[in-house]
Amino acid sequence: MILAVILINTICLCTALDDYTQVSYFIPPGPLSGRTAPLHSWFRPIRIHVHEVDLAHHLPDVSSQDLYRELISDGLDLIRQLLQVFPVSDTLKLEYDYSKLCENPLQSSVRLCGQKWSNVVVNEDCGVREGFQIPAEHMAEFRIYSSETEYTVDIPGGAGINDTDIVLYVSAKSLDYCNVQNAGILGFAKICKRDQFGRPIASFLNMCPDGFSSASKAKLKDTIFHEILHSMGFLGSSLNLFIQSCEITNRQLDCKFLSDYYTDSYRFPWHVLRDNSPSESDYRYEIKSTNALTAWQHHLGCDTAPDDGPVWSVHASPNPARQNPIPGDHWTWTSMMGSLMSPFVKEPYMQLLDNMTVSWFKDTGWYFVSDNLTQPLLWGKNSGCDFAHPVNYCQKVVNGELQDRFLCQQSGKSGCHYLHLHKGVCTPTESRVPMCRYYKPDPQGDCFTPRSVTDSLEEFCQECRCFVSSLHEVCVLPV
């Protein structure tokens, strides 16, 4: 028997929000005293401004441009149904990165720069570094203060963007990651700027032009929606920016980060855990925030392990110094296969917007989130509390101690993918957890495309599904 020890590592509780834009939020007119309505009654559907970046140049085919715009528009329609925000009151203007530009803030406020670094390069490129810059007209002016009230304008500002809660820069450039061999990367999204409470207010979304031209419309639609959800904040970098609560103070919105509120790491919204066994070492993050935790336990039908949250991916292996790995930007494939926010975008009928993802957005504290778009996830459904510990759970399946509807025991064995739409071959779910195996769908093994076969009793039709049986053709000879 392999004994597993779960260690909870020390985590950094700092918010580390160095680069942010101070945004003014709309406070309803009139006296606030005696107001009993909760803050979320002031939330409004999010207003998203789309700014195309050289789209015609990088995607010259007009029908491809039209398709891209259509799919972005469809995705943003869903986001407007899903997410409401406290509305930005003034014209949205993005601030330069003070943490990089300013050598000496005034002592009275870190947001008042007293001196700029000499020879500093202004590079507001969202970290894309390949020819993209946030347009100057979207930026606020950068000031050098001689006192709290006197300043000179060092970099002039632009007009900003009206009626906007977030700007989405949309492009189709052949960036480096598009050309990584066999990676199959179709798109990518990144947050450029956050407000003072961590909410994304500017994001960059890129679709690889070659992949865009060859993928099906349905796959592009899901991929673009997946990337839009990243651009709204579904990233590892958001985990330490979850909001505990907001209130109105001096007619200003004031929100507290969970990480500022709690010093007790056990109440933090995420933990890094390590499963140790004689033959393996596996780190994982679990999301512990209230809504995601509750949704996960309800999904598993688990009410006896109140601390086991859904499993979040890791970006990198821990280094020899045993530091914690960097959080990834998705659920793990093994724990949340079928979620639109797992790392791989598959065929549309195989992925959906699950309750854990919707709950994750609720837990950020930035949004009022609708449940209307939530779809039921089948993977792991009612598998019980043990499913929350993939390494232990899979080991039991491999050892034959546990029968499971979703996982298989023997690599290479034929069977049915858990949705029963495809035949599959028992394959590791992820290379880092080789003992977790599922029947990976055979792309040519779908049951629902009608076709005739002559060498077996199999049938293929729109309503056909995959089942494993011991059906034999019996020839009965007349007596």
Binding site residue list for Zn(2+): 226, 230, 330
What are the strands, taking DSSP E only, across 278-356? 280-287, 311-314, 327-331
What is the C-alpha separation between 149 and 113, in angstroms, rounded?
12
Cβ atoms < 10 Å from Cβ of 451:
9
Residues contacting 469, CB < 8 A, separation 6+:
none
Describe the crossing of helices 290-300 and 355-364 by its angle, rounded to 10 degrees: 160
CB burial of residue 59 (10 Å; 0-12, 13-18, 19+): buried
**Residues at the annotated binding site?**
226, 230, 330
CB neighbour burial string for 317-336, b if at least 16 within 10 angstroms, e if fewer: ebeeeeebbebbbbbbbbbb
Active site residue 141: no
Name the residue among 264, 189, 265, 291 with its Cα closest to residue 232. Answer: 189
What is the C-alpha separation between 67 and 288, in angstroms, rounded?
39
Cβ atoms < 10 Å from Cβ of 435:
23
The β-bridge partners of 202 are 167, 193
Q: Phi and psi of 119, rounded to 5°?
A: 60, 20
Q: Hey, what are 211's tokens?
A: 């992949």
Pairing of the two strands 200-207 and 166-171 = parallel
What is the C-alpha separation between 75 and 233, in angstroms, rounded?
15
**Which residue type does 127 have?**
G
What are the strands, taking DSSP E only, across 218-321? 243-249, 252-257, 270-277, 280-287, 311-314
What is the C-alpha separation between 330 and 455, in angstroms, rounded?
43
* Active-site annotation holder among 95, 124, 227, 286: 227
What is the C-alpha separation between 389 and 436, in angstroms, rounded?
11
Dihedral sign of CA atoms 380, 384, 388, 394 in order: negative
SS3 8: strand
CB burial of residue 45 (10 Å; 0-12, 13-18, 19+): middle
Q: So which residues are the catalytic ones? A: 227
